[in-house]
Amino acid sequence: MVTIDPKAAPSAHHFTVVIDGVETAVHEGVLRCGGGGTVAVVTPGVLEVTRLRHVVVRGGGGAGDVRFSRCGYAAAEGCAAASFRRCGAVRADGARGVAVRRCRSADVERAGAVAIRRCAGAARVRGAGELRVGRCREADVAGCARAAGARCRAARADWCGALALGRVGSADVAGCGAVRVDRCRGASVSGCGAVAVRRGKVSVVEALKPVSPPPVDQQA
């Protein structure tokens, strides 16, 4: 059932929302779903999604901001910005800004600035301008211009520009530019440019010959 809030300003931007496989267009008001879930346009161009089991929001053309809270599976495609808080598995593709906090797992592709904190499972990022990952079980990143990971049990990084790792249990780094490692119990660094180690056990292997990174959409 759709309920239109007369106090809510309609938005010129239309979001496409897929809830449990059913697609609908939303540009104003509140969509109330079973189990207490809601989809609401809080201000023009800003959508809030709460307590849905499975939801996908498509912004279209990289426009519109979406905020997810307490959803089971939540995905944002082609939105300007996407934030996720206390969700299960989350995914974002093509957003200029992504923020994830206290979710089970995160999968981000082709993003601008990305911040991920406190994932109980894996945080996977493919292609980001600036990335910060903290307190996740596992960080798996590739194709990021600048990336920083801290307080993760395990980390893997491929083909990043500048990479900083701090207080990481184990790390596997390959094909990155400048790498800085601080307080890592065990790290393997291969085929990278400058490598700076402050504390920790790090094995460094130089590349035999330059290799071009694979396209982001082909990276595992």
Cβ count within 10 A of residue 158:
21
Over the stretch 122-135, which tens digit does the pLDDT of each residue have?
A: 999 999 999 999 99
Cα separation, 52 vs 35, in Å, equals: 8
Residue-level pLDDT at 219: 53
Over the stretch 6-58, which tens digit does the pLDDT of each residue have?
A: 444 455 578 999 999 999 999 888 999 988 899 999 998 899 999 999 999 99
Residue-level pLDDT at 53: 96
Cα separation, 18 vs 24, in Å, equals: 6
Cβ neighbours for 87, distance < 8 A, ≥ 6 positions apart: 68, 69, 70, 71, 72, 73, 74, 103, 104
Cα separation, 3 vs 8, in Å, equals: 11
| Res. 62: pLDDT tops 80 | no
Residue-level pLDDT at 12: 58
Q: What is the mean pLDDT of the chain?
A: 89
Q: What is the DSSP letter of 21?
A: T
Length of the chain: 220
Is residue 76 a contact partner of residue 94, using CB atoms and an 8 Å limit? no
Q: What percent of the chain has pLDDT over 70?
A: 87
* Closest alpha carbon to 196 in 173, 164, 169, 171: 164
The residue whose two tokens read 């990043």 is: 160
pTM score of the predicted model:
0.87
Measured CA to CA in angstroms, residue 71 lies from 14, 34, 83, 135, 214 at distances of: 21, 13, 12, 21, 34
pLDDT (mean) for 153-172: 96
* Closest alpha carbon to 160 in 135, 193, 133: 193
Residue-level pLDDT at 76: 97
pLDDT (mean) for 48-69: 92
Locate 45 and state its tokens.
């161009």
Q: Coil, strand, or helix at residue 186?
A: strand
pLDDT (mean) for 56-63: 84
Q: What percent of the chain has pLDDT over 90?
A: 75
* Closest alpha carbon to 62 in 84, 81, 42: 81
pLDDT band for position 212 (cuts 50, 70, 90): low
pLDDT band for position 63 (cuts 50, 70, 90): confident
